[in-house]
């Protein structure tokens, strides 16, 4: 009996050792990314993760072949013993192609006076190009409301020939809510990396669903911007892109928000910013103005008292008068899950064409000089709308 018990203990010990040893033998690795954010004429942010705590960096190679190493530095400390890495590289030259690769050193143990490093790893080389302020060409795609369907996202991006555009816009509700740190990767970051995002950026326009969940307040660190805001504007050559953040659809005192939101005040703050923006020389002197916001400007929603449309009504009240002064050439939105195209002539309150993307559509825009070509495709590849604007 005693021998049997000893044998059993030995087997349990061997089994435990086997499990532990195989876990310990897992190679240290990069497990998400890299993907680019806020690519400007002067800088870019490169994001990636490692499966274990590390010291990580980016190596940048300029056209002359000179390699520089970049870390995230905070208050004199290099970011370390972390797994999520967002490294901003500044001092770039416009209209220039750079190569980059990731580097990382596993930190096995971090004692106050002794840091023990493990394996070092490096990624393959990738490349990106900084925007050319004199460029008269720009291509992009925009889609929304995938609600965590990574397969459909991949399919739509491929249909739009995403490998031939400069950037991609996700116009909200790529997830149902944010309660799991892996969800942004599963829903849209990993599929984007597989297709384009290591070398061309995507821009996230937050949807109302992405304000929900216990981690919603951490969402920004996946799509960081130097000004700290989800909303903003930036000019690429002759195109000014404006991103507005619509917030939640129901009133702030709606019971499910538990007193944790104040989107009415936020939209007021945003409207004040937008009003300033459209007065700037940079905005006024651009040839093309493209605005993205998750809530479409549905003018018929201004009257009803439907609770679920409070956010849209607030957007209409605060943003629409500004939209109509802003000489917008194209607006792209989503939210309703029903494709629509609103001609300026059909909606007297709107002085610009608006595409309302559905859960099944993607919009591709190609700008070349004085011509903007717009095409909306559905998941079957059918063209729902195609038009050209010339000016």
Interaction of residue 173 with Fe ion, rule CB under 5 A: yes
As a dihedral over the C-alpha atoms of residue 301, residue 244, residue 360, residue 194, rounded to 10 degrees, the angle is -170
Interaction of residue 245 with Fe ion, rule CB under 5 A: no
Interaction of residue 335 with Fe ion, rule CB under 5 A: yes
- Residue spans of alpha helices (H) in the chain: 2-24, 150-159, 183-184, 190-195, 263-277, 281-284, 310-323
**What are phi and psi for residue 152, nearest 5 degrees?**
-70, -40
Distance, CA of 52 to CA of 50 (rounded, Å):
5
- Smallest gap from Cβ 137 to Fe ion, in A, equals 32
Closest residue by Cα to residue 141 from 155, 163, 160:
160
Stretch that binds Fe ion, among 1-9, 168-176, 197-205, 314-322 (CB under 5 A): 168-176
Interaction of residue 144 with Fe ion, rule CB under 5 A: no
Interaction of residue 252 with Fe ion, rule CB under 5 A: no
Using the rule CB under 5 A, which residue among 37, 56, 192, 208 binds Fe ion? 208
Interaction of residue 85 with Fe ion, rule CB under 5 A: no
The smaller minimum CB distance to Fe ion, of residues 212 and 335, is found at 335
Structure tokens at 368: 């070349």
Interaction of residue 211 with Fe ion, rule CB under 5 A: no
Cα–Cα distances (Å) from 198 to 163, 190, 223, in that order, read: 12, 10, 14
Residues near 69 by Cβ (< 8 Å), separated by ≥ 6?
57, 58, 59, 60, 103
The smaller minimum CB distance to Fe ion, of residues 185 and 295, is found at 295
Tell me how many residues contact Fe ion (CB under 5 A).
4
The smaller minimum CB distance to Fe ion, of residues 207 and 353, is found at 207
- Smallest gap from Cβ 358 to Fe ion, in A, equals 11
Residue the block writes with tokens 């249909």: 159
Using the rule CB under 5 A, which residue among 103, 184, 191, 207 binds Fe ion? 207
Interaction of residue 235 with Fe ion, rule CB under 5 A: no
Stretch that binds Fe ion, among 53-61, 121-129, 269-277, 331-339 (CB under 5 A): 331-339
Residues that bind Fe ion (CB under 5 A): 173, 207-208, 335
């Amino acid at each position: 009996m005693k021998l049997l018990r000893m044998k059993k203990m030995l087997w349990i010990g061997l089994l435990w050792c086997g499990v532990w040893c195989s876990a310990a033998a897992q190679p240290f690795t990069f497990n998400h990314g890299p993907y680019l954010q806020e690519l400007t004429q002067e800088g870019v942010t490169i994001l990636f993760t490692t499966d274990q705590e590390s010291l990580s960096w980016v190596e940048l190679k300029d056209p002359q072949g000179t390699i520089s190493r970049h870390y995230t530095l905070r208050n004199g400390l290099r970011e370390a013993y972390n797994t999520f890495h967002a490294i901003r590289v500044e001092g770039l030259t416009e209209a220039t192609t750079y190569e980059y690769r990731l580097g990382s050193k596993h930190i096995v143990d971090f004692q106050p006076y002794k840091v023990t490093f493990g394996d070092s790893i490096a990624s393959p080389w990738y490349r990106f190009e900084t925007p050319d302020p004199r460029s008269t060409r720009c291509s992009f795609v925009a889609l929304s409301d995938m609600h965590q369907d990574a397969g459909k996202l991949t399919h739509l991006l491929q249909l739009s020939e995403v490998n031939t555009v400069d950037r991609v816009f996700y116009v909200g509700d790529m997830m149902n809510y944010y309660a799991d740190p892996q969800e942004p990767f599963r829903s849209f970051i990993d599929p984007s990396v597989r297709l384009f995002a290591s070398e061309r950026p995507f821009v996230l326009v937050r949807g109302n669903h992405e304000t929900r969940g216990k981690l919603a307040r951490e969402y920004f660190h996946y799509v960081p911007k130097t000004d700290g805001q989800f909303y903003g504007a930036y000019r690429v050559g002759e195109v000014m892109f404006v991103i507005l953040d619509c917030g939640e659809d129901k009133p702030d005192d709606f019971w499910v928000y538990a007193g944790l939101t104040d989107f009415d005040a936020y939209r007021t703050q945003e409207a004040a910013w937008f009003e300033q923006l459209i007065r700037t020389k940079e905005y006024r002197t651009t040839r093309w103005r493209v605005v993205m916001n998750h809530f479409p400007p549905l003018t018929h929603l201004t009257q009803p008292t439907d609770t679920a449309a409070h956010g849209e009504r607030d957007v209409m009240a605060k943003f629409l008068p500004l939209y109509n002064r802003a000489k917008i050439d194209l607006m792209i939105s989503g939210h309703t899950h029903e494709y629509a195209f609103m001609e300026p002539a059909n909606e007297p309150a709107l002085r610009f064409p608006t595409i309302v993307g559905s859960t099944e559509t993607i919009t591709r825009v190609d700008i070349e000089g004085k011509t903007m070509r717009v095409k909306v495709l559905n998941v079957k590849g059918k063209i729902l709308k195609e038009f050209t604007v010339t000016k």
